[in-house]
Structure 1
Amino acid sequence: MTGETTHRDGLRFVGLPDSGLSRWGPPKSFGFLRQVPWLPIADTELLHLSHFCPIGIVLGETGPSVVALMHGFWHPKGSVDAKGGWSAPYIPMALRSLPFRLSAAAGAVEIAPELIAPGEAVFALHDEDGAPGPEFAQALELLARVRRGASRLAEAAKVLLLAEVLVPLQPLREGGHADVWVVSREAVLALPPRKAAALTVLSNLGFELAGAALFSQRWLDRTRIEAGAARDLSDEVSLLPIVATIEDTVERLMVMDESELFSFEAFVAAETSTDG
């Protein structure tokens, strides 16, 4: 028994075996998203989503997560129209896989029964042999892609934590924990060389995340950003696995190229002789 869990947005998810369901259908309306704080995202959709909603970082018990901010408190224009339709050209994978999600801990499949409209349970969960039906299999593949991509983004978010370029947003609820952060443009522009170089680890994903997050702030209510300098959040999460990678990358970037393809000395000598 996987039990029942409730999202902080109020959606009730239960373990798929506990749901008693044999058929399902996708939500017909996304109106519930107006009360959802954020959606998980994958690295492959980061740039797409930065065009349509603010990108933030949530510090949770298992580490940082990169998310698309949904709630009108932070994202006043919203991504849902008056009829409950998704208004942006790109639909996040987390939405395309609803009413399913993977549990945060074990990765078991959970389902939100209330998102299945009455009379719209048109797809079988499993075929006669017990294998996932084609539509359910597609949802499972989307969930797996989000999980893999979110894991890569989480590592990039750790780079931003170490670089000290994050500032908090006002909490969604009065007295709530300030666990949503965004990238500070001022902090990024003020990065010293070694910290700036650290953003290039993980195939440049840290730098890409910082850039996409800043670009996405056109959709953010910037009055929700708490005043003050970017904070050192390195004590909030274990960063040890990535420190060695950053140190190695910075060390390599800081070494002058000594290959035969380019001679710095010859270049300087040529410039000197040209000047007379």
Structure 2
Amino acid sequence: MSIQPVSRERHAHLRWKGFSSFAFAASTTLAPLAAAEISQAALALPLAFIERDGHWSMAAVLGLMPGQNLYVDAGGVWLGRYIPAALRGYPFLIGARADSEPPPCIDASSGLVTPGEGEPFFDEAGSLSPTVTQVMRFLEQTAQSEATLVDACETLASFAVLEA
């Protein structure tokens, strides 16, 4: 992956295409979950409590070995009934910035950033396009919901319900 912040300087004359294959997730063994999706994910995927970056959370278990995703076939087709939110915003991600709003980022190595085809990153006024804004809202809501789930899991861990 080559993650870069979306900027007018870099992306004003480029476009992006939505993904048509889940090949990008073929080696994703665990997908972090958000509180808002637990009920749907639990009906379709095995879930596990995981310790990540010193905090407890929940994840969908997509494979049994590192680098394995049993829910993506060789052609990049998703085989499950539910797709974790962490995978649905691709190729966009939320960047990390402590001093201000996190910037929208994109995986520049995705093959989905092009000079011709697709959706523009910015509108004619130089603001993020409505489509990019919509994707970023989805990612921000997902990140907030992930934080809620981390808090709930941390509470469980504080009562020694979870242990490594």
**What is the percentage of aligned positions where both structures have the same residue?**
24
- In structure 2, C-alpha distance between the alignment counterparts of 1:44 and 1:118, rounded to whole Å: 30
Q: Compared with structure 1, are the counterparts of its residues 72 and 13 closer, same or farther at alpha carbon in structure 2 (3 Å cutoff)?
A: farther
2:86 counterpart residue number:
94
Structure with greater helix share of residues? 1
Gap change, CA 1:93 and 1:121, over 3 Å in 2: farther
Q: In the alignment, is residue 149 of structure 1 matched against residue 141 of structure 2?
A: no
Deviation for aligned residue 1:37: 3.3
Partner of 1:136: 132
Partner of 1:16: 6
Amino acid at match of 2:95: S
Query: Does the 8 Å CA contact 1:14/1:111 hold for their aligned counterparts?
Result: yes
Q: What TM-score, normalized to structure 2?
A: 0.78
The CA distance in 1 between the partners of 2:61 and 2:104, in whole Å, is 23
- Which residue of 16, 29, 33 maps to 1:41? 33
Residue aligned with 1:50, SS = helix
- Range that drifts further, 92-101 or 52-61: 52-61
| Distance change >3 Å, CA 113–CA 73, structure 1 → 2 | same
Residue 103 of structure 2 corresponds to 108
**Unaligned segments of structure 1, at least 5 residues:** 1-10, 167-230, 234-276
Determine if the alignment matches structure 1 residue 123 to structure 2 residue 152. Answer: no
CA distance in 2, matches of 1:115, 1:63: 29
Among 70, 74, 78, which residue is 1:82 paired with?
74
CA deviations over 1:180-230 (Å, ceiling 9, x no partner):
xxxxxxxxxxxxxxxxxxxxxxxxxxxxxxxxxxxxxxxxxxxxxxxxxxx
CA separation in 1, counterparts of 2:4 and 2:159?
38
Matches within 5 A, 1:244-263: none
Secondary structure of the residue that 1:20 maps to in structure 2? helix
Does the 8 Å contact 2:55/2:150 carry over to 1? yes
- Give, in whole Å, the separation in 1 of the partners of 2:137 and 2:33: 14
Greater strand proportion: 2
Say whether the 8 Å CA contact 2:26–2:69 is kept in structure 1: no
Contact 1:41/1:68 (CA < 8 Å) preserved in 2? yes
Work out whether residues 25 and 72 of structure 2, in 8 Å CA contact, stay in contact via their aligned partners in 1: yes
- Quickly say closer, same or farther: Cα 1:39–1:19, change in 2 above 3 A: farther
Q: How far is the alpha carbon of 1:54 from its aligned partner?
A: 2.5
Kindly provide the CA deviation profile for residues 24-77 of structure 1, in whole angstroms up to 9, marking residues without a partner as x: 112222123221232232211111112232323333336333322334417977
Q: Would the aligned equivalents of 1:99 and 1:116 in 2 still touch at CA under 8 Å?
A: no
2:121 alignment partner AA: L
Aligned AA (1:12): S
Q: Which residue of 2 aligns with 1:227?
A: none
Q: CA deviation at 1:100?
A: 0.9
**Deviations 1:134-191, CA, capped at 9 Å, x for gaps:** 221121111011111001100111122123333xxxxxxxxxxxxxxxxxxxxxxxxx
